[in-house]
Amino acid sequence: MTLGEKIEQAVTGRPDSHVPGRVLERLAGAPERPGGQAAVLGVLHSVMAQAGLRGPVASAKFAVVRLTNDQILENATGAGAPPSTWPRKELAVDLLHKTVYAFATGAVADALAARNGPGPGRRHAARRPVRRTGVGPLPRGE
């Protein structure tokens, strides 16, 4: 995401955003200075992948979580404003960068999780591969 942002900023002339750093500083009660907090949320994508939520659909779900997280924190701390008040171009750039982040994080998380096998959710789904009702949870040992 950072590489994509730097390329986009070089082309568009858009300055760095200090909102993520301000959010973290306000939450921590620290003095404000430039920085960022979004990398911490990437851990959630790893948890998703370990549970068996992998691939493009899982990354799209994570993109929504990432955007929602940012908006909750930015608006709750007063460091940002609702996206409906942003210029459309800024909104499009934000959505693009956060979607790239979600899919790049997903590729890494999926690859790492795949080393441990399919994950509990995938093992459960493999019991009855066609969508059906009445498939109970896996026994604890599986």
For tokens 């301000």, the residue is 22
Average pLDDT, whole number, for the chain? 83
3-48: per-residue pLDDT in tens? 777 777 788 877 777 676 777 777 777 776 655 555 677 889 999 9
pLDDT, tens digit, 9 for 90 and up, residues 79-98? 889 999 999 998 998 899 88
- Over its C-alpha atoms, the chain yields an Rg (Å, rounded) of 19
Asked if the model's pLDDT at residue 1 lies above 90, the reply is: no
DSSP 8-state assignment for residue 40: G
Q: In degrees rounded to 5, what are phi and psi of residue 26?
A: -70, -40
Distance CA 17, CA 8 (A): 13
